[in-house]
Amino acid sequence: EAGVAQSPRYKIIEKRQSVAFWCNPISGHATLYWYQQILGQGPKLLIQFQNNGVVDDSQLPKDRFSAERLKGVDSTLKIQPAKLEDSAVYLCASSLAGGPADTQYFGPGTRLTVL
Amino acid sequence: RKEVEQDPGPFNVPEGATVAFNCTYSNSASQSFFWYRQDCRKEPKLLMSVYSSGNEDGRFTAQLNRASQYISLLIRDSKLSDSATYLCVVNSPSGTYKYIFGTGTRLKVLA
């Protein structure tokens, strides 16, 4: 079974530029999550989708971050404009149904450096 | 107070040692609990779920204490390959129910 795919794996941009990340979850998984992991910290949930609807985006900085999952499958996360503090690993995860006991499967992440 | 707290470590232990980590959570309405393992520059992977009755998987034992609001992970007979960061994860009502990660506890098993 193929895992969660993410691209690109690495991205270096200058502040105020824009960047987009892509995620393809495990086939059949209804729930998709985007996390931000800053060095030395645990992952922090940015947004959770159930199919193509948003379940939780309370921690998404909506003035600069946006995410979509138009067909309920793959998803993109965009940052515009980027700030230095956005330097982090952006992890995408998926789970079968989004229930509280579901296992989350993570992709390899995109390591973003903002200069 | 953080919603999920862990000692960041590092815990440096010799091969064969037994080591235990604790994790406390603040919301008594939390529903489910997990330990994830994260190797350096890799993604987190589920190590084990934590059940009320406690559960064991080989050398790993996880326990939940709802009264004191903590979970624990015990690793027996540590191997070099156990060196990693162990993330405590709690599914907690914070708005909606969401997975909240601790900062992780770093373990180094020394030869």
10 Å Cβ neighbour count for A55? 17
Q: Please tell me the predicted confidence (pLDDT) of residue B53.
A: 86
Q: Is B97's pLDDT higher than 80?
A: no
- How would residue B92 be classed by pLDDT, with cut points 50, 70 and 90? confident
Q: Which of residues 27-46 of A touch B (CB under 8 A)?
A: 33, 35, 40-45
- How would residue B80 be classed by pLDDT, with cut points 50, 70 and 90? very high
Element housing B35 (H / E): strand B32-38
* Nearest CB partner across the interface for B97, out of A42, A58, A100: A100
Q: Is A34's pLDDT higher than 80?
A: yes
Q: Please tell me the predicted confidence (pLDDT) of residue A71.
A: 86
**Mutation target vs B (from A56, A92, A94, A112; most B CBs, 10 A cutoff):** A56
Number of H helices, E strands in chain B: 0, 11
- How would residue B95 be classed by pLDDT, with cut points 50, 70 and 90? low
Yes or no, beta carbons of B43 and A91 under 8 Å apart: yes
Mean pLDDT of B55-80: 96
Q: Please tell me the predicted confidence (pLDDT) of residue A107.
A: 97
B102 CA: distance to closest CA in chain A (Å): 5
- b/e for B50-87, b at 16 or more Cβ within 10 A? beeeeeeeeebbbbbeeeeebbbbebeebeeebbbbbb
Q: Does B86 touch chain A (CB under 8 A)?
A: no
Q: How many CA atoms lie less than 13 Å away from A65 in the CB half-sphere?
A: 19
More reliable by pLDDT, B53 or A22? A22
